[in-house]
Amino acid sequence: MRTIAGLTRRFARGIADITVRQNVQLHWVTIESLPEILEALWGCGLNTLAACGDVTRNITGCPVAGVDRDELCDASPLALGATRIFTGNPEFYNLPRKFKISITGCRVWCAYPEINDISLTATERTVRGNPEVGFSLRVGGGLSTDPHFATRLDAFVRWHEVQSVLRAIAELFRESDVLREHRERARLKFLFLRNGWTAEGFQKELERRLGYSLEPGVEEKIPDDVYRDHIGIHPQKQPGYCYVGASVLRGRITADQMDAAADLAERFANGELRTTNMQNLLIVNVPQLQAESLAKELAGIGLQVGGSPFGRGVVACTGTEFCKLAITETKSFSRWLVDELDERLPGFAQHLKLHVTGCPNSCGQHWIADIGIEGKKIKVRDQMLDAYYFCLGGGVGLHQSLARPVGYRCLAGEVPDAIERLLRRYLERQLPGENLRQFFARHNDDELRTFLAGETVEAAVRDIPAGLVPHGIEG
């Protein structure tokens, strides 16, 4: 962390971004500084391999693997083994498009298996009276402009089979000529979306490549409306220890905050920090008696361990500040939006996923948010101004659903008004015990659009730009 902080201070104007794949992005970097930056990263065990391009991206997993008291298994060795297979291996470069894998042993699925090309989630079965942990297998997940939840195969993948299964699916993807015909339809999900593949057909081809049949899948315990951010103070499996999760508002972190967090991790724990898929930061192996003191210190550097549901729940893509494909600015906007909502709705206590994405490609993952807003432009007196289009009711887990485009669009400056109207209507009309997901599902698009606008309005068209998908898109 101190290495990244030092590089951020020297070469990136003091700011960095934690991404939804647990990476750290630096901006403002010059070509001349790259050798020094790369050498410093390599020196502390970090690299930029597979950070972009038509390759296997970094393998994601549970950020509290090995310490989570409730995990089924610590899948870290499998994630590291998969990294050795794919990263830097020319066999798996020049794939049809990027290729994303998650492997997790946790029960809350915080690595978002629903939206990865391959996901392995731990599950249990009993064989001749003995418990065995293996993995459910899903394929073909992804968001962008054509969102698709990963399809579960009828398979129980045993621990020793994981690497062979991953390799076989990657080879299937690499050799799918139909996915190389159109770059905008080149992700694995398009075998299901456009080319008629089924779960049964995919598994048959996978098993042909493996040379054996996978054992049948077993019943899963799919997370039911579980919030996946790991924020707060949580007991570890190691007696007397806990981990402390702090919210990094919209993923933007400064060099000073990184240095301070590293100092706190050494003062209160063993110096280990981890990033999450919701752009947050964790310190693990904290003695329980020190946890509250650590939480106060983290709050003092702007990293809240409690915080409002708006600060905890906001996720934002890079936006026009650094992304040439974005339509709207997102990072400063998201901070302002959280401040506005905190002031307007101080008692709001419902967990909320509020995702801001600066274009239709969904790097901010608005399709799986309770409230997802997608960057647009509106012309006002000969000026094109930032605006947002609303999608509501997205979610993952037991009640997975894509957020519904409800036909409401407004200027960026009007977004807090719209969300306040929507949430006040929820507070006024919610049924006993009804959460936001259930409330949105109970109302149709016209009703939700009226809640947002404060009056009856015609549905706005969600305009999606046509054209090829560039290499850098992360959605």
What's 324's domain CATH number? 3.30.413.10
Residue 349 pLDDT: 93
Give 381-393 pLDDT, tens digit per residue.
999 999 999 999 9
CB atoms within 10 A of CB 36: 12
Domain boundary, last residue among 274, 307, 340? 307
Pairing of strands 314-316, 354-357: parallel
pLDDT attached to residue 226 = 86
Statement: residue 468 has pLDDT above 70: no
| pLDDT tens-digit series, residues 407-433 | 999 999 999 999 999 999 999 999 999
d(CA 100, CA 289): 39
Residue 474 has pLDDT above 90, yes or no: no
Say yes or no: 328 and 342 in one domain.
Answer: yes
Q: Are residues 262 and 295 in the same domain?
A: yes
Domain for residue 217, yes or no? Answer: no
Q: Are residues 297 and 393 in the same domain?
A: no
Range of the domain at 354: 311-453
pLDDT at 475: 53
Q: What is the pLDDT of residues 359-378, one digit of tens each?
A: 999 999 999 999 999 999 99
Percent of the chain with pLDDT over 90: 95
Question: For the chain, how many structural domains are there in total?
Answer: 3
Assess if residue 470 is contained within a domain: no
pLDDT the model gives residue 465: 56
Domain finish residue from 307, 333, 355 = 307
Q: What is the pLDDT of residue 463?
A: 76
**Is the pLDDT reported for residue 469 higher than 70?**
no
Asked if the model's pLDDT at residue 25 lies above 90, the reply is: yes
Residues 390 and 366: their CA atoms lie apart, in Å, by 9
Per-residue pLDDT, 342: 98
Pair 39, 146 in one domain: no
| Same-domain check for residues 302 and 319 | no
- CB contact at 8 A, 50 and 56: yes
* Domain at 40, CATH number: 3.90.480.10
How far apart, in whole angstroms, are the C-alpha atoms of residue 394 and residue 437? Answer: 7
Above 90 in pLDDT, residue 225? no
3-state secondary structure of 202: helix
pLDDT in tens, 268-277: 999 999 999 9
The answer to whether residue 418 sits within a structural domain is yes
The DSSP call for residue 112 is: -
Closest of 427, 251, 454, 415 to residue 345, by C-alpha: 427
pLDDT recorded at residue 124: 97
* pLDDT, tens digit (0-9, with 9 covering 90-100), for 55-104: 999 999 999 999 999 999 999 999 999 999 999 999 999 999 999 999 99
The pLDDT of residue 473 is above 80: no
Stretch 432-442: mean pLDDT, rounded?
96
Q: What is the pLDDT of residue 470?
A: 52
Residue 289 and residue 320 in one domain: no
- 167: helix, coil or strand? helix
Establish if 385 belongs to a structural domain: yes
Pairing verdict, β 281-287 and 371-380: unpaired
- Token pair belonging to 339: 């401040």
Q: Is the four-CA dihedral 198, 187, 154, 21 of positive or negative sign?
A: negative
User: 413-424 as b/e, with b when 16 or more CB fall inside 10 Å?
Assistant: eebbbbbbbbbe
pTM above 0.75, yes or no: yes
Whether residue 15 is contained in a domain is answered as yes
447 in the same domain as 329:
yes
Average pLDDT estimate for 322-351? 96
Whether residue 433 sits in one domain with residue 324: yes
What is the torsional sign of CA 64, 77, 267, 281? negative
User: Which residue, of 210, 237, 263, is where some domain finishes?
Assistant: 210
Do 195 and 96 belong together in one domain? yes
Whether the per-residue pLDDT at 337 is higher than 80: the answer is: yes
**Are residues 247 and 200 both part of a single domain?**
no
Mean pLDDT along residues 135-146: 97
Look at residue 437 in the predicted model and tell me its pLDDT: 93
- Domain contains 421: yes
If you average pLDDT over residues 225-250, what whole number do you get? 95
Mean pLDDT, the chain, whole residue set? 95
The answer to whether residue 435 is domain-embedded is yes
Residue 80 lies in a domain: yes
Are 82 and 149 part of one and the same domain? Answer: yes
Q: Are residues 296 and 379 in the same domain?
A: no
CB atoms inside a 10 Å sphere around CB 224: 8
Helix (H, G, I), strand (E, B) or coil at 331: helix
Q: Where are the alpha helices (DSSP H) in 146-237?
A: 162-174, 190-193, 199-210
Element (H, E) at 312: helix 309-313
